[in-house]
Structure 1
Amino acid sequence: MEKLTSKPSLLKKILALVLAFGPGIFAIGYTIGTGSVTSMIVAGSTYGMQLLWVLLLSCIFSGILMYAYGNFALVTGETALYAFKKHLKYGKLIAVLIIVGISLGQWNSLMGILGISSNIIFEIIVIYFPDLSGSRYEVVLIVALVVIAIMYSLLLVGKYTFFEKILVIFVTIMGLSFIISLFMVYPLPIEVAQGLIPSVPQVEGGKMMVAAFVGTTMAAATFLSRPLFVKGKGWNMSNRSQQKKDAIIAAILVFIISASVMAVASGALFHQGKPVTQVLDMVNTLEPVAGKFALTLFFFGTLSAGLSSIFPCLLIAPILLADYQSGELDTTSKQFKIITGIASCFALIVPIFGANPIQMQILSQVFNVFVLPLVILGIILLVNNKGLMKEYKAGLGLNIGLFAALFFACVISYNGVVALFDFF
């Protein structure tokens, strides 16, 4: 009897430990979606581990920015865009530009995410019902409609703790799937070490891939939404060390999971000269190398990544608008329901027109880098405001990290502009 009662208590302890890092779960949900997974698979299959250094730097700077935004919220009780509007010169203009830029970037990303997720579900359905293989467009569109309808109905429940629990499930499945896949297919250690030496692939699409990497890993939406999620968690000044741990753990997990995806694609596809350009490529190329079990695991992880991203992407526009207006997010309001409804319809564009979701996904990640310098500059000005932060004003270490992140973001944004001009 004692053994039976100890099991649930152990499960409860594990669940409590995971849920203790709530806002970090949202950070992982925003950061590792099919956008990130697609970028990692395309990069790993095309360039091997060459871009691992970009991923590492992006994750370090992401951890610093998550900590800075979370700490600002705990010290001042204010959210990001509301504080920009209230305390910064030209703050209203900066806040509006950020809302428009991030919302468009995330909604573009949403189209690709839903397209890829629907295609993956289609590939799984075809395994069991081969007769449907000739009706790809119709089945993918029906799947997309069902997925987005379910996600929208879950949003209408409207409770932070409910959103958090849904994301915990998706993120856990995703992380375990990719990490287990890594034990079956992996690159050589020397390739991993070489990937930490900064270099940009001098081939067509190389610069765009670097920008897409940063756009998906250093996602501005992750930092801006953090104060609202910290408040939603009910944290206060007594949770400062917990907030710091949460930011560090989230950044480490993003790196481990993303690097695992890149490593699997590199180990399985790079040396065979099989770059991924279509969703179907992932099935055709991974199966003979990795086997059915590894392939199923990897696809399950990719699908979980997609579903864990649809949720935060639908949330982003009402979150930013609520942040700008009052610093409070009301998930039961008419405004929340209308905006998430419009985002749900917008998400169906790629499935309706039958566009290539992988190309769309990478393009949308590139667009995400352009508001990043503004988002970093804003928090630098806020955390160095002694009137606001008092004795918790940013120290030398945090400032070095934030200014390094700003320089990195500016370089990548310039790189993104060049890449887009080359593309078009």
Structure 2
Amino acid sequence: MDKQANSSIWKKLLALVLAFGPGIFAIGYTIGTGSVTSMIVAGSTYGMQLLWVLLLSCIFSGLLMFAYGNYALVTGETALYAFKKHLKWGKLIAILIIVGISFGQWNSLMGILGISANIIYEIFLIYFPALVGYQYEVVLTIAIVIIVVFYRFLLIGKYAFFEKILVVFVSIMGLSFVISLFMVYPLPIEVAKGLVPSIPKVEGGQMMVAAFVGTTMAAATFLSRPLFVKGKGWTIKNLAQQKKDSIIAACLVFLISASVMAVACGALFHQGQPVTKVLDMVNTLEPVAGKFALTLFFFGTLSAGLSSIFPCLLIAPILVADYQSGELDTTSKQFKVITAVACLFALIVPVFGANPIEMQIVSQVFNVFVLPLVILGIILLINSKKLMREYKASIWLNIGLFAAFFFSCVISYNGVVALTDFF
């Protein structure tokens, strides 16, 4: 009887996790090694000072996921196809968005692959110390193996298959970071102070704020939402479910990201040990957190990286298909060629042996530049009586979206200033 009860509990838990909707892709896009890297660097360098940026970004992300999802369910149209069809200058806006987001996501992909390969190398090093003089060769080999395996997975090309793989990675990642938090945590007063808006008045502070928004309010998350909602088979009858899915995704992004920042703050900030390289995370976390917490944290970071490779490889063909017809054909030659080019692009950081953490943060900043266009486009679409009929945006949704638009403009300006200083 006990065995049956246990089996039933596990089945229910598995069904609950697998029942998660297109929001799982939102988490995959949002929390990758880019996000984890930004959170670790921020937590170890500034403590919890940037928690307010994370909270605002997650609230606005939830609103934008909801708005894009609703538009798709009511009209049956995807985002860029609708921009091209209904907006003045829509064709130009859509092309700018495709170029901007693909560039940002492919840059991200380089860093993600570099960090993931480095983490696996560090794990190998624990068991095979003789590899110590062969870091470049081993990291490059691991990176090639990872990207080839993921490309093979992409060729299977079914929405349900992508969703199941992402569910596994995201679940491992979330659990790893939240459990780590119980072992290493910041003081409650630091968390409270982090909710008061302020920008670190140090070199790189503005870049960090822009990177935070670039990784948490990722334009790719919202634009791909209509295609994933359609891929799930949802219709106008699923409006309530779509709303719930958006809220859960935004809450989970906040919980997981804040956990990462808090672990880095609790373990590294007070030791005065900011993180700049993947190796720093090993050397500084282990004495404070112990081997178990370190292993958990690394497992989480690796899962974050692997859960982001899929969405990053998918983004360019998704946007191109969205622009052309609003339908994604994962068996087409176009899909295979674009994803193959993305795979080769991803190998740039491992091939040249660049610092993947620096690359990640700079690439996250690039993501903020198309954000105002993406928000303005959906504001215009969901306020069209002709398109949305009785489902036109409410006053509260409009207030939230205009606040998100203003926030994104400020952050984009901030990003321009930060990149000018960087280069």
Q: 2:422 matched to 1:417?
A: no
Q: Deviations over 1:43-83 (max 9, x none)?
A: 00000000000000000000000000000000001000000
State how 1:1-400 maps to structure 2 within 5 Å.
2-400=1-399
> 1:365 & 1:291 partners in 2: Cα distance?
30
Gap runs ≥5 in structure 1: none
Secondary structure in 2 matching 1:391: helix
Per the TM alignment, residue 365 of structure 1 is displaced from its structure 2 partner at its CA by 0.1
Q: CA RMSD in A?
A: 0.8
Measured after TM superposition, the shift of residue 16 of structure 1 is 2.5
**TM-score between the two structures when normalised by the length of structure 1:** 0.99
Identity %: 83
1:245-298 Cα offsets, whole Å, 9 max, x none, are 000000000000000000000000001110000100000000000000000000
**Count of aligned residue pairs for this structure pair:** 423
TM-score of the pair, normalised by structure 2: 0.99
Deviations 1:199-230 (A, max 9, x none): 00000000000000000000000000000000
Distance 1:145 1:377 in 2: 39
Distance in 1 of aligned mates of 2:160 and 2:3? 28
Tell me the secondary structure at the aligned position of residue 370 of structure 1. coil
Q: Distance in 1 between matches of 2:325 and 2:173?
A: 34
- The 3-state SS of whatever aligns with 2:369 is helix
Any idea what SS the aligned residue of 2:368 has? helix
Q: Give the AA of the match of 1:321.
A: V
Residue type of the alignment partner of 2:150:
M
1:301-324 residue CA offsets vs partner (Å, 9 max, x unmatched) = 000000000010000000000100
Per-residue deviation, 1:12: 3.0
Superposed CA deviations along residues 382-404 of structure 1, whole A, max 9, x for unmatched, are 00000000000001000000000
Q: Aligned partners of 1:368 and 1:31: how far apart in 2?
A: 11
- C-alpha distance in structure 2 between counterparts of 1:363 and 1:332, whole Å: 33
In structure 2, what is the Cα distance between the partners aligned to 1:155 and 1:175?
A: 24
How far apart are 1:4 and its partner, in Å?
3.7
Distance 1:84 1:19 in 2: 32
1:277, 1:17 → 2: CA distance? Answer: 38
Deviations 1:346-380 (A, max 9, x none): 00000000000000000000000000000000000
* Greater displacement, 233-242 / 44-53: 233-242
Mean CA deviation greater in 297-306 or 20-29: 20-29
Question: 2:319 & 2:269 partners in 1: Cα distance?
Answer: 40
Query: 1:22 Cα shift?
Result: 1.9
Corresponding letter in the other structure for 1:119? N
CA drift at 1:3: 4.0
SS in structure 2 at match of 1:275: coil
> Helix, strand or coil for the counterpart of 2:22?
helix
> What displacement does 1:332 show?
0.9
Q: CA deviation at 1:238?
A: 1.3
The C-alpha deviation readout for 1:20-52, integer Å capped at 9, x for no partner, is 322110000000000000000000000000000
Letter in 2 for 1:62: S
In 1: Cα distance, 2:374 partner to 2:257 partner: 23
* Partner AA of 1:280 in structure 2: L
Give the AA of the match of 1:315.
L
Give how far 1:237 is off. 1.3
2: CA distance, partners of 1:3 / 1:88? 60
Counterpart-to-counterpart distance in 2, 1:340 and 1:89: 31
Determine helix, strand or coil for the equivalent of 2:387. Answer: helix
**Which one-letter code corresponds to 1:212 in the other structure?**
A
